[in-house]
Structure 1
């Protein structure tokens, strides 16, 4: 398959995904394969929560629409125009995927196939259905993918390189187990926001999207706020009040009650609005239903700290207060060229 052929296939996948929206799924007769796949995909979306309690239809539809927006001819061309694939020799690349948010491993899956390699996929037990369904749709679009995509339930064998995503604990195992293979091993990271008190209500409201989307389970979810000395959280709590319905979801509510109780029994001082607790803490990774905060005195000093601790940070949200920050409300809408852990997956796959 040529690169153009592969790009066209993923553009068609994007058009297929674009039909599925939470408010209304509208079948486009011009989209390939709807007779076989449209109704089945709706059924799978509705069943996702029975496979993983965090995968509510709202969250799954959001993920699907994010990928529909990303998989356009313009985006794929812009993303891939910076690379030279002429010297790529097809290898078998193993993927060990996480399952914290729907389709979290799709970018790695796309990257392996678009660079011409074969992919050997070990899905998370928390996300075993969505990606195989999309793989079957790709094969229906282009039969040449059939021998390039394999899903594995048991031991991974016969691969040339690996991309593995897990916790800091599993990363140590991965680093040992795959020490003789070219690899990308991803560990725990968290996202932060840097505030100065001049943010608008609209900006703080969409910061709520960065916090609550996927119930806060993703590495791109903001779990830590840096605020200036004397900062009042009143405007922040007022702006995020529109997300209050999250507490009506049982799994979230149970975590909120549990984590709040643990904090209170430890005599930690909390700020609480009934669906989110915030706690002063130097750590980056807060439990879900909670966000940590820390005061800063000087932005230059904070910038240096963030650079020194870059390996713990996935995204930084701010109004250009610190380098390499992104806009409020955009953490869960990465571009194709926004790589996890700032590791260029395509460059890695081009030289293995």
Structure 2
């Protein structure tokens, strides 16, 4: 995606989930545009914490610093990036952070991720995605935050059969607790926008992939297995399609939303907005795997398995509203995106 010219006022942005996949890339992008970023993450062990520390190191924060600077009076700053280790559900600490820092924009990407894991450990999803999000909303309410941007998910569409998925579609039938918590976020944001006139923008992410990606996602799992000459698990016998969206395209879209002033929305009393953010295309899973095989230089051994609980056959984002309002135009092909990931994977794990 071609970068927009950025004449916006420099801001202080709180990015929660800053050691996570999308949060890390967003922090890098915002810093490159001259914004100040306060990164917050609890660095939980849902997946390899060393990958999270490695992302923070790319932002200038050493592992020992990330562990040490976990209180509000002693955060670590490097080139306009500050990091604090904290849970967003901490009802005592988070409000103090908002009180002590002059935060303009909040981008809440902190969440317990993963559809399948929500079946095994539902409490973690309620703690982070519901209680934590309520805490974020309360802090935005009491500390004059200009705009709350937050992560929702394509999972809210459940078993929706209408393709492509539109924000006008009914999303009252989630099929995983993860999806239910994300739908809850949208409802909670609507309430706070209505009652307290807080501009909120929810983004339904569609299968984000790219360098530094999560180890529980398909691209990582497939690449890792092929690298180690292990079979890959292909669910629904390969009859799956996803709107795979490259992380740089996602982050460019999120940044455009952060940079655009909300005065027009406030004047028109449109405090609450929901957008799909995806690649505006649906790719067959087997075609996606083929690109990985090409870049790995070998064919995968495929274990064809039935559909997993909580999963859906096909996703495809209608992003017309995001194009209209923010000139969002993702343009990274699967060919280039997978190539970039495999190059990163080989460098990170095999160098």
TM interval, short-chain normalised: 0.3 to 0.5
Give TM-score scaled by structure 1 length.
0.33
Larger radius of gyration: 1
TM-score relative to the length of structure 2 = 0.33
